[in-house]
């Protein structure tokens, strides 16, 4: 666990081959003075379900559209299967796209929509018919080939778009915000269907999304983008547990962030003192930062324990930290009951408020925390993430 | 929601009476009089009897006039097709230009549309006549080509014969295209501009080239816009008076010119009235056809 | 290595421009065949007009070849009383036509937008007629109407003698205004009206405080349209005008029939400039309005 903090390396995913099918090399895209993508270098392996994650306007869609051929990079190269595709127009690239609006041709029947790409490739009629049926079956739309798109629901239209792209057997399937236009129930269902579909067809999927839940749930690997810059590329678990910057920690999931000074940094332990925390933050691993430098401690709400505190009692001790570390006193200021869990907002000495969750393990809480109750907040030595930027 | 007029009778009367009265008195009545005249007969130099005769219409479908109707339809048709051929790529380019360029190009297309029709026709005369700039340019090319031929040891081309670009059917068509091009470009532009770009991108993404994308995706989806562009080019071109009058020769008369002659020179109002109404019926048929296409494509999409 | 030396030589000739990205697949305006097409179309549309304007300053009478700069034709045109009178007539007619067309157009638009009444479809259809009926048909109808049904009194003092033409112009211009204003009204959120009434405004105040401000861009566009339609009209005026009620287009037409002198060029140039200025003002006003709305 020594340097797990700063090197959030991707863990191997079994069905991913070690073969970069897509390679972005120092890609920069400017629209006038605005820099949409700033010197991005990124490899995507064959068989991955890759997510480009970031807030709107971060350049993720531009990156995807460069892959499809709808935007041309200002600088840098895009390689598909090791070949520079700069000279290839969209219709000659071995990638296909599922558009955010689905872009199902409203004037063509479902079967004609799905068969459109094959017709363009000069595939003969019988073969088109067979493959269209196969593709419709794959997305569970069998029998709807004769419908017009306006007779379909939003979810079905998306399946048409999926079938239409997959039927061409592309090397890579591009999905632009695939779930954003669906309602919540349908979105959950589609998430698992996309995953199983990808495993079934074995094609590399690249998805653009601003929804971190979606990315964590579906992707085998994610790239987080912020203002055109690639901030972190990692598996969903690493992204959540080992963020490499304040932006990633804050964007992916919910977090309590404290600014502090690195007091100690050894091979197997480190300590940070934060102004807003009355106790030092102790860690059971090193962080490879300079002593005395400013760092940030990120503490996920679910990683904070909450215990009753009697007035005037001595601080409790965490078993994996020195006495006095990783434990701070506070007062519950707000409680939000959410059914499966309850959110608490605890005010520390000095006024800083900290979020924490408690799962509702039983039907009524034995401890019965209530408003304005004094509590201890405590965390394990391996729970906080120390961020250098 | 709309109110029924009974809920606010006074307000409705105040709002509805002026425009309806105006429309009836100064539009429907004049039209009605013409319609009545078309079933009348000249009985004296300025007296007309309403005899309910169909003789005027019978005369209008005699070969001489039928030919003029046919010719007007063909000229308007060619004009419309030319406007479509020129206007579609222009509208496409404008719709996909950068926002700044788009605003300027639209203004440039619209400005002649606001300029006086007569002035534009007059301006065209100066360019097209035998001593005009088109002929000057052609002569210059001709002479240079001729000089080049001598240079490489061939026979020179001889004297340049100026082309007769005015006072014939070609001139009328050039003039009509010149005048009506903005009518075509604007509805095409608005149809193309409204179009969902991702549909075109999807088509390219699926392997279609630009030409096939335009034919298979853009044209069907922009059909209502194309139909209305065709309509608002065709109708005024069919009833054009000024352009054939100023640019046409003796054989380039269109219906409007014949109608004018009945009223101003020949003084045969009943016959002119019948011709007017025939022209109007043709216009209505064109509108009905366009509405039909519109409804069909709406039902589809 | 010789190759490398050659390729790394500094490029002579074309100065290095700011590097632009390759056009994207839908940047049709950045592809040369379409650029050529647009360019050729603009030349086709503007060459005749620009030639006309340039040669209004030419000293030669047979305006074919450029011989020298002069403003004589303008002086001549401004000293031509009948031309000036025609110009003044045209502007007067356009002015009155605009005022009446806007009033009638707004009433018609509000009527069709607001009320349900028997025969609405018929009224709607008849309102569209003046827009689609060929000019020549309307022209002859007006000729007959003012000759036989309602003869306009002869010898009326100016500008009353222009009445027949003004009426004819209003008849075809106000349905255009109604169409434009109605299109604007269709984007009106009726809850605004209900909100005004809820807050205590009367029917009349609601109309002025809520509906009219919403219609404003439509009113300006409609007024501009009515003005230009009237100023532009030749055919209908041609049939309605008498010898003492000549408008500018009719005057130019008769001058063209007689002889083409650069005087016509000069007069036309003035009208083109007037039109361009009017369009610019209209666009500016509309821009300002939409900016105000956004702010």
Helix (H) or strand (E) holding B289: helix B269-300
Interchain CB distance below 8 Å, C25 and A73: no
Q: If you count residue pairs, one on A and one on B, with CB atoms under 8 Å apart, how many are there?
A: 70
Instruction: Decide if pLDDT at B160 tops 80.
Output: no
pLDDT tier, C286 (very low <50, low <70, confident <90, very high otherwise):
confident
Interchain CB distance below 8 Å, A69 and C25: yes
pLDDT confidence of residue C63: 53
Nearest beta carbon to residue A121 from set B207, B217, B297: B207
Report the chain C residue with the minimal C-alpha distance to residue B213.
C26
CB C223 within 8 A of CB C98: yes
Structure tokens at B56: 């005027």
Interchain CB distance below 8 Å, C24 and A30: no
Instruction: Report the distance separating Cα B201 and Cα B207, nearest Å.
Output: 10
Interchain CB distance below 8 Å, A99 and B204: no
pLDDT confidence of residue C11: 40
CB A45 within 8 A of CB A17: yes
Q: Helices (DSSP H) in B195-268: which residue ranges?
A: 197-205, 210-213, 219-221, 223-238, 242-247, 255-264
Higher pLDDT, B210 or C289: B210
**Three-state secondary structure string covering B164-184:** CCCCCHHHHHHHHHHHHHHHH
Q: Does A70 touch chain C (CB under 8 A)?
A: yes
pLDDT, mean of each 10-residue run, chain A (389 residues): 39 56 92 89 92 92 93 92 90 93 92 94 93 94 92 92 93 92 85 90 93 91 93 92 92 92 87 91 85 91 90 80 88 91 92 91 81 92 89
Interchain CB distance below 8 Å, C136 and B246: no
DSSP category for residue A373: -
Mean pLDDT of B185-189: 93
pLDDT confidence of residue C15: 42
Interchain CB distance below 8 Å, C170 and B26: yes
Cis amide leading into A320 (omega within 30): no
Q: Does C132 touch chain A (CB under 8 A)?
A: no
Structure tokens at B74: 């063909």
Nearest C-alpha of chain C: how many angstroms from A332?
44
Nearest C-alpha of chain C: how many angstroms from A239?
34
Higher pLDDT, C17 or C32: C32
Instruction: Report the distance separating Cα B216 and Cα A333, nearest Å.
Output: 63
> Could you read off the pLDDT of B258-273 as tens digits, one per residue?
999 999 888 889 999 9
pLDDT confidence of residue A367: 75
Q: Does C21 touch chain A (CB under 8 A)?
A: yes
Mean pLDDT of C170-195: 90
Q: Does A115 touch chain B (CB under 8 A)?
A: no
Structure tokens at A104: 């199902």
Report the chain A residue with the minimal C-alpha distance to residue B197.
A103
- Residues of chain B found within 8 Å of residue C26, distances taken between Cβ atoms: 96, 197, 200-201
Q: For residue B114, which of C232, A105, C257 has the smallest C-alpha distance?
A: C232
Nearest C-alpha of chain A: how many angstroms from B107?
24
Mean pLDDT of C114-137: 91
> Could you read off the pLDDT of B26-49 as tens digits, one per residue?
999 999 999 999 998 887 767 787
CA angle C136, C141, C145 (to 5 degrees): 150
pLDDT confidence of residue B266: 82
Interchain CB distance below 8 Å, B201 and A70: yes
Q: What are phi and psi of A14, to 5 degrees?
A: -55, -45
Instruction: Report the distance separating Cα B280 and Cα B278, nearest Å.
Output: 5
Interchain CB distance below 8 Å, B300 and A107: yes
Mean model confidence pLDDT for chain B: 88
Q: Does A75 touch chain B (CB under 8 A)?
A: no
Instruction: Decide if pLDDT at B132 tops 90.
Output: no
DSSP category for residue A55: S
Q: Does C18 touch chain A (CB under 8 A)?
A: no
Nearest beta carbon to residue C123 from set B20, B239, B256: B20
**Which of A26-30, B14-18, B210-214, C25-29 shows the lowest mean pLDDT across its residues?**
C25-29
> Could you read off the pLDDT of C60-73 as tens digits, one per residue?
776 567 778 888 88
Residue of C20, C24, C31 for testing the chain A interface, max A β-carbons within 10 Å: C24
Nearest C-alpha of chain B: how many angstroms from C15?
24
pLDDT confidence of residue B166: 82
Q: For residue A141, which of A121, A166, A116 has the smallest C-alpha distance?
A: A166
Inter-CA distances, C240 with A33, B236, C142, C252, Å: 59, 20, 6, 16
Distance of alpha carbon A354 from the chain centroid:
24
Instruction: Report the distance separating Cα A170 and Cα A205, nearest Å.
Output: 10
Helix (H) or strand (E) holding C219: helix C212-232
Inter-CA distances, C225 with C181, C221, C233, Å: 11, 6, 12
Nearest beta carbon to residue C129 from set B27, B132, B272: B27
Q: Residue B21 contacts by C-beta under 8 Å, 6 or more apart in sequence?
A: none
Instruction: Decide if pLDDT at C19 tops 60.
Output: no
pLDDT confidence of residue C187: 86
Nearest C-alpha of chain B: how many angstroms from A167?
10
Q: Does A89 touch chain B (CB under 8 A)?
A: yes
Report the chain C residue with the minimal C-alpha distance to residue A71.
C24
Interchain CB distance below 8 Å, A72 and C23: yes
DSSP category for residue C9: S
Q: Does B30 touch chain C (CB under 8 A)?
A: yes
Chains with 3+ CB–CB pairs under 8 A to A are B, C
Nearest beta carbon to residue B209 from set A69, A91, A99: A91
Q: Does B215 touch chain A (CB under 8 A)?
A: no
Nearest C-alpha of chain A: how many angstroms from C22?
6
The residue behind tokens 């003075």 is A33
Mean pLDDT of C204-210: 85
Instruction: Report the distance separating Cα B283 and Cα B290, nearest Å.
Output: 11
Q: Does B206 touch chain A (CB under 8 A)?
A: yes
Interface ipTM above 0.90: no
Inter-CA distances, A84 with A70, B20, C22, Å: 15, 69, 15
Instruction: Report the distance separating Cα A236 and Cα A209, nearest Å.
Output: 14
Nearest beta carbon to residue A103 from set B201, B209, B300: B201
pLDDT confidence of residue A8: 39
Report the chain A residue with the minimal C-alpha distance to residue C19.
A74
Nearest C-alpha of chain C: how many angstroms from B283?
7
Nearest C-alpha of chain A: how many angstroms from B230?
21
What's the N-to-C CA distance of chain A in angstroms? 21
Distance of alpha carbon A119 from the chain centroid:
36
Q: Does C19 touch chain A (CB under 8 A)?
A: yes
Interchain CB distance below 8 Å, B127 and C110: no
Interchain CB distance below 8 Å, A68 and B198: no
Interchain CB distance below 8 Å, B204 and A106: no
Instruction: Report the distance separating Cα A193 and Cα A80, nearest Å.
Output: 26
Mean pLDDT of C259-277: 83
Instruction: Report the distance separating Cα A95 and Cα A69, nearest Å.
Output: 9
Instruction: Decide if pLDDT at B131 tops 80.
Output: no
pLDDT confidence of residue A105: 94
Beta strand A374-378 pairing with A305-308: antiparallel
Nearest C-alpha of chain C: how many angstroms from B127?
6
- Residues of chain A found within 8 Å of residue C25, distances taken between Cβ atoms: 69-70, 89-90
Interchain CB distance below 8 Å, B127 and C137: no
């Amino acid at each position: 666990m020594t340097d797990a903090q700063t090197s959030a390396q991707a863990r191997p995913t079994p069905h991913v081959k070690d073969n970069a099918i897509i390679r972005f090399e120092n890609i920069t895209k400017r629209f006038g003075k605005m820099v949409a993508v700033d010197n991005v270098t990124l490899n995507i392996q064959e068989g991955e379900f890759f997510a480009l994650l970031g807030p709107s306007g971060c350049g993720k869609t531009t990156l995807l559209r460069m892959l499809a051929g709808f935007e041309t990079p200002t600088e840098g190269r895009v390689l598909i299967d090791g070949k520079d595709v700069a000279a290839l127009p969209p219709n000659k690239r071995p990638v296909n796209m599922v558009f955010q609006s689905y872009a199902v041709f409203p004037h063509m029947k479902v079967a004609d929509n799905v068969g459109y790409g094959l017709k363009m490739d000069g595939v003969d009629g019988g073969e088109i018919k067979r493959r269209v049926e196969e593709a419709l079956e794959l997305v569970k739309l069998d029998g709807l080939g004769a419908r017009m798109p306006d007779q379909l629901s939003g979810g079905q239209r998306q399946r048409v778009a999926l079938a239409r792209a997959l039927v061409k057997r592309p090397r890579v399937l591009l999905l632009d915000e695939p779930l954003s236009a669906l309602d919540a129930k349908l979105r959950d269902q589609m998430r698992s269907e996309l995953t199983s579909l990808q495993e079934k067809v074995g094609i590399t999927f690249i998805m653009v999304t601003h929804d971190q839940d979606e990315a964590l749930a579906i992707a085998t690997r994610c790239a987080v983008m912020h203002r055109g810059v690639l901030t972190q590329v990692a598996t969903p678990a690493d992204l959540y547990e080992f963020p490499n910057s304040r932006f990633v920690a804050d964007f992916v999931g919910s977090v309590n962030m404290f600014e502090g000074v690195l007091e100690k940094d050894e091979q197997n332990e480190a300590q940070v003192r934060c102004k807003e925390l009355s106790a030092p933050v102790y860690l059971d691993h090193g962080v490879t930062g300079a002593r005395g430098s400013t760092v940030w401690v990120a503490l996920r709400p679910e990683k904070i324990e909450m215990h009753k505190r009697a007035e005037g009692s001595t601080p409790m001790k965490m078993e994996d930290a020195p006495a006095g570390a990783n434990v701070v006193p506070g007062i519950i200021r707000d409680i939000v009951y959410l059914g499966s869990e309850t959110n608490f907002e605890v005010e520390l000495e000095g006024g800083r408020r900290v979020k924490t969750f408690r799962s509702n393990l039983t039907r009524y809480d034995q401890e019965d925390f209530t408003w304005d109750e004094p509590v201890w907040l405590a965390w394990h030595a391996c729970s906080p993430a120390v961020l250098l930027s | 929601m709309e109110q029924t007029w009974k809920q606010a009778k006074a307000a409705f009367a105040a709002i509805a009476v002026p425009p309806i009265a105006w429309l009836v008195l100064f539009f429907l009545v004049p039209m009605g009089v013409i319609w009545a005249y078309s079933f009348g007969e000249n009985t004296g130099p300025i007296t007309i009897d309403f005899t309910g005769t169909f003789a005027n219409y019978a005369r209008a479908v005699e070969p001489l006039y039928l030919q003029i109707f046919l010719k007007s339809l063909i000229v308007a048709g060619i004009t419309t097709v030319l406007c479509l051929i020129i206007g579609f790529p222009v509208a496409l380019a404008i719709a996909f230009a950068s926002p700044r360029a788009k605003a300027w190009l639209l203004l440039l297309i619209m400005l002649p549309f606001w300029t006086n029709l007569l002035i534009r026709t007059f301006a065209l005369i100066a360019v097209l006549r035998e001593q005009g700039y088109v002929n000057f340019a052609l002569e210059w090319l001709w002479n240079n080509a001729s000089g080049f031929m001598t240079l490489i040891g061939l026979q020179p081309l001889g004297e340049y014969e100026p082309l007769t670009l005015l006072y014939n059917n070609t001139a009328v068509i050039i003039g009509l295209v010149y005048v009506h091009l903005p009518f075509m470009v604007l509805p095409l532009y608005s149809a193309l501009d409204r179009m969902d770009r991702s549909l075109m991108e999807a088509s390219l993404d699926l392997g279609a080239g630009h030409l096939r994308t335009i034919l298979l995706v853009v044209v069907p989806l922009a059909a209502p816009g194309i139909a209305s562009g065709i309509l608002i080019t065709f109708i005024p071109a069919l009833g054009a008076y000024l352009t054939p009058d100023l640019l046409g020769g003796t054989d380039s008369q269109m219906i409007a010119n014949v109608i004018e002659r009945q009223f101003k020179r020949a003084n045969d109002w009943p016959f002119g009235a019948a011709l007017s109404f025939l022209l109007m019926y043709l216009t209505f048929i064109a509108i009905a056809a366009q509405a039909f296409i519109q409804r069909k494509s709406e039902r589809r999409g | 290595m010789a190759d490398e030396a050659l390729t790394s030589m500094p490029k002579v000739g074309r100065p290095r421009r700011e590097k632009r990205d390759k056009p994207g697949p839908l940047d049709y305006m950045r592809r040369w065949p379409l650029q050529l097409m647009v360019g050729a179309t603009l030349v086709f549309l503007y060459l005749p007009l620009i030639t006309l304007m340039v040669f209004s300053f030419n000293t030669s009478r047979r305006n074919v070849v450029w011989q020298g700069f002069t403003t004589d034709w303008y002086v001549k045109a401004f000293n031509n009383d009948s031309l000036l009178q025609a110009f003044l007539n045209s502007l007067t007619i356009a002015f009155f036509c605009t005022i009446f067309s806007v009033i009638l157009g707004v009433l018609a638009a509000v009527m069709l937008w607001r009320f349900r009444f028997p025969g609405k479809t018929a009224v709607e259809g008849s309102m569209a007629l003046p827009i689609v009926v060929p000019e020549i048909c309307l022209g002859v109808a007006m000729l007959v109407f003012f000759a036989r049904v309602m003869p306009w009194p002869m010898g009326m003092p100016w500008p009353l003698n222009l009445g027949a033409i003004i009426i004819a112009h209003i008849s075809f211009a106000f349905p255009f205004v109604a169409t434009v204003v109605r299109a604007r009204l269709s984007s009106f959120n009726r809850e605004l009206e209900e909100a005004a009434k809820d807050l205590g405004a009367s029917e009349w105040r609601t109309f002025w405080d809520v509906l009219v401000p919403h219609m404003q861009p439509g009113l300006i566009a409609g007024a501009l349209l009515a003005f230009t339609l009237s100023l532009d009209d030749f055919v209908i005026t041609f049939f309605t005008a008498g010898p003492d009620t000549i408008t500018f287009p009719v005057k130019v037409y008769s001058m063209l029939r007689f002889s083409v002198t650069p005087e016509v060029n000069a007069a036309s140039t003035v009208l083109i400039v007037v039109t361009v200025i009017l369009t610019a003002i209209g666009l500016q006003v509309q821009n300002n309005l939409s900016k105000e709305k956004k702010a």
